[in-house]
Structure 1
Amino acid sequence: MSSEELTAAVSEAGGLGSYGLYGLSAERIRAVGDDVRRRTARPFALNLWLPFRGPGEPEPGGGFPRDDVDRALAALRPLFEEAGAPVPEGPVAPLPDFDDQLAAAFDAQPAALSFVFGVPPADVVEAAHARGIRVIGTATTVPEAQALEAGGVDAVVASGSEAAGHRPSFLSDPADSLVGGLALIPQVVDAVSVPVIAAGGIADRRGVAAAFALGASGAQVGSAFLATRQSAAPALHRDRIRTALAHETVLTRAMSGRAARGLPNRAVRTIEQGGAIAPFPLQNILTGIFRRRAAEIGDADLLSLWMGQSAGLSRHDDAREVFAELAAGVPDGHA
């Protein structure tokens, strides 16, 4: 749900705009980098998913046996029909090759590369540093933060369980790594010597002030920017973000095969009740087909409504206004 417009707008406002590259081809990544650079001369970041293999998941980059595809489609067929989306009959293409994505990301020359689902290999960190690119890792527990620091990253994002979207846990199951930001951030700050960026549950100046009070050196914000008109989220998704209450969001594997936080809808309930959820990335690829169609026809009940527990604090439609609100929470001397 990243957009070049939103990434550039955040950077132009004085932040570090970031673009998520999940699922993008090398060609598309290079186009993203070019587009962001046309929009801003200020620093920006790119984010990559490491080729992490969770329990029951196939080898990264591999294909999918047709029997697995057919079983997954049998459970999802009612949702395809509801959306009026074509059911794939041929082979399902795997995700783009990580090494190709990485090479394209390096070519884009961002100020920073952030990674989720693991510790970037030493040669990746070295190659980034050789190009003047800072490396940021993402942790959901103290041991993950320590592993990232040992791996040579320049900063660690401490992602509290309130955060929107996928839980990027990599040392333990996400269900065993659900630490709220109030507890996680200061413990990560105490455990590592690199700067810590607070994430999860931050949507206004109060959240930013709290993050700095807990010892963080910066704040990462998702849902509040996702709700702006500059984001690539469908209008129905943006509207739901502004009205959601913290207790309404859930962690679910329904839409992607990996645990992610969002607002449950008919698609999530249908898949969970069916009990047949394919492993990542097959589930994500297949649901993506009807989700794209749902965005076209304006059916929020068939979308992935990713949002964090503070989503309902989102008040602004413009990314610059969101940034100004957040910046108001930065203590003197930290700007």
Structure 2
Amino acid sequence: MELRRIQYFVTLAEYLHFSQAADNLYISQSSLSYHIAELELELGVQLFVRNKRKVSLTKVGAELLPIARDILAKVDELTLTADEQNKRDKNSMMIHICFDTSSQRFDLFGIDAAIVKMRDLYPEATINCSQSSMEEILDGLACRNFDVGFITLRHGEKLPSQFNVLPIHIDFLSMVSIFEIYPGNLTSAFDNSPLYLLKDDIRWGNKILSLLKDLGVSPRVKWENSFSSMLTRVTTGEGITVIPHSEFAAECQSRKSLKALDFHSDEAKIYSCAVWCEANSNPAILPLIRHIRSDDTGFIKEGSIF
């Protein structure tokens, strides 16, 4: 039995006029007549007496009307209770967010603003943020130590199917130096300068070395402990580094001497992504994701970037 037909029955009983009841329900008179007839067929009783002049309730229709009203009232109560519980859940919810250490500038992609928005909307919620390696983030998501992770994936890189992956920003890698670098002088540039990479980011270091190898370059590598010290080495002319273009653009605001040569191959594309476990039912996850990406791109299953 369809709930809407019970609503149609109650409304027609109030108006006792098909045209007026149909207008109130925003349906056609013929549609209302059809659904009332179907409800009578389901119940096996006649609810209304119809003639050209008026519509009236039958005896059984009058007996069933209070029951129908009670059903609709219970539905309203159910909806109200669910809404109140949802509000309580969101106000008392706790969400653990972890950022991938391989990216320094997740703030460029609206994540910081989304977290602030969440705090404004749910002031009683507890939002914990931390930073870790991609491997530790995935382990933490799988065992529910983290609810949402923000990680950087390489082109074509996939995660296990237990994770939902939503790209929030597509970027590409850039070679960065204070000297002019162009395709024709790459070999000489790296003959004179080492390549600085992050010590704790071997995964990305190997990717960068592979890209340079495709260009016929095998640089001397020096490993730095922090992003800041690595950029200082480059800014003072000690060497070259490779970082996401968005981070280069942000650093240029304060390090105006920096110059970049962009990689243009698909292999140089990188993806800043929100990741969460498929089985995690924390009610805070989807509101956070919606605030980051208001344009609904949908979830990308099987961990695929495309």
Pair in the same fold by TM > 0.5: no
| Larger RCO, structures 1/2 (Cα 8 Å, 6+ apart) | 2
TM-score in terms of structure 1 length? 0.26
- Larger Rg computed on CA atoms: 2
More strand per residue: 2
